[in-house]
Amino acid sequence: MSKHFQIEIERLNGRLLAVGATVLDTIQIALTALEERRPALAQQVIDGDRRIDRSEVEIEEECLKLLALYQPVAEDLRFIAAVMKINIDLERIADEAVNIAEHAAFLAARDPIPVPPQLAEIGDAAMRMVRESLDAFVASDVQEALRILSEDDEVDRLNREIIQEVWRMMRRDPDTIERATHLFSVSRHLERIADHATNIAEDVVYIVEGTIIRHRAEGYRPKVESS
């Protein structure tokens, strides 16, 4: 491919990573709004979602333009196809952060209730998986991508524990039911963020090896050693 095409690919890569950094910040702000009961921070996340939506559309349009102009093959084609998918996952992660912010705003306007300690853990785990999946993308690191997939089990475990804690709270004090269901929803949104991070990790494997491991990642062995 031409030097101009490679420049366009590098620019596309940079734009995607910039969105990834924004999305990570968005998750952190939403969780801070929840933890510190700060509705203004929650509103900041909600208001910022349009910018991420615009970026998603712009990146998709750029991918389609590159496909039409250069008709790439092999790894270049896989890269652009994966960027389109990762772009969608990042936008959906941002949507989940908005959902968390909306729950944070609701809870901040009402009397506080006990928050299961696992909620902070699942938040940290979900953010770590997103960050690590983007790092694996940058490094084209298949081994790291596969390791990230295994982290999803821990997120699922934490989500189950939070559900149990919330149910116990509601049984002990029925007055907490409405507020407690919002904590349950926050945990579910974080679990979905982790799922999107695993999608990104799977796309790293596809870029490097040309293998689609979705639905069959368990036990997958890389074709080549990652550098």
CATH of the domain at 61: 1.20.58.220
What is the token pair recorded at 46? 């909600």
Q: Read off the pLDDT of each residue in 150-171 and give the average, rounded to a whole number.
A: 96
* Separation CA 12–CA 204 (nearest Å): 16
pTM: 0.94
Task: Look at the chain and report how many structural domains it folds into.
Answer: 1
Please check whether residue 10 lies inside any domain of the structure.
yes
114: left (phi over 0), alpha (psi -120 to 50) or beta: beta
Please check whether residue 226 lies inside any domain of the structure.
no
Lowest mean pLDDT among 3-7, 53-57, 104-108, 180-184: 3-7
Please check whether residue 214 lies inside any domain of the structure.
no
* Separation CA 72–CA 56 (nearest Å): 21
Q: Read off the pLDDT of each residue in 144-148 and give the average, rounded to a whole number.
A: 96
pLDDT at 226: 44
DSSP 41-61: HHHHHHHHHHHHHHHHHHHHH
Would you say residue 136 has pLDDT above 90? Answer: yes
Q: Read off the pLDDT of each residue in 48-59 and give the average, rounded to a whole number.
A: 97
What residue ranges in the chain does DSSP mark as E strands? none
Q: Which of 23, 21, 8, 14 is nearest to 53 (CA)?
A: 23
Would you say residue 227 has pLDDT above 50? Answer: no
Q: Provide the mean pLDDT of the chain.
A: 95
pLDDT tens digits for range 166-187: 999 999 999 999 999 999 999 9
pLDDT at 214: 85
Per cent of the chain over pLDDT 70 is 97
Determine the 3-state secondary structure of 140 from DSSP.
Answer: coil
Q: Which residue has 């912010």 as its token pair?
A: 101
Range of the domain at 179: 3-209
Please check whether residue 130 lies inside any domain of the structure.
yes
pLDDT at 225: 53
Q: How many CB atoms lie within 10 A of CB 84?
A: 18
pLDDT at 149: 94
Instruction: Note whether 41 and 32 are within 8 A (CB).
Output: yes
Q: Which residue has 């979905």 as its token pair?
A: 192
Q: Which residue has 């990570």 as its token pair?
A: 24
173: left (phi over 0), alpha (psi -120 to 50) or beta: beta
Confidence of residue 102 (pLDDT cuts 50, 70, 90): very high
Please check whether residue 218 lies inside any domain of the structure.
no
